[in-house]
Amino acid sequence: MAAAVAASAALVLPGWLEQPGIGAGEPAVAMTAMVPSPLKATFRLTGEDWGTRIDANCSYAHNSADFGAQPYALFVTDRAGRETIVAGWIFGPGTTISAAGTTTVAENDIARVDIRWMPDERVLLKSRPSW
């Protein structure tokens, strides 16, 4: 799994600004915390001929109990229950990242999007696309 995170880390685009036409027509979907964590995130799905582009914005609050930078990953789960990692990154207190990932899963076949803490793949935030 570590290799998958390393390979997908190149998909993270720190400081990326939203590009016109990429998910601009759809509102961002807020993710729900599954366990207490300093993370908050939203995402947008954009259907393509080849699958789906996922654009996520994630912020890490600064507090006194921080452990420093940690590895995280963005996953999609399709309607059949198959999970796919689409982006990975390392970030820490007081930072915000924008990540862009892709999957061959069609937009309408995505059942869930979640962000996981990669040492144990614990789901920190999750959401279902709004159809």
Q: pLDDT tens-digit profile of 73-90?
A: 999 999 999 999 999 999
The number of beta carbons lying within 10 Å of the beta carbon of residue 8 is 19
Structural domain includes residue 40? yes
Confidence band of 5 (pLDDT split at 50, 70, 90): very low
Give the structural domain span for 10.
Answer: 2-16+28-127
Number of domains in the chain: 1
Structural domain includes residue 23? no
Structural domain includes residue 87? yes
Structural domain includes residue 65? yes
Encode pLDDT of 55-76 as tens digits: 999 999 887 666 788 999 999 9
Structural domain includes residue 22? no
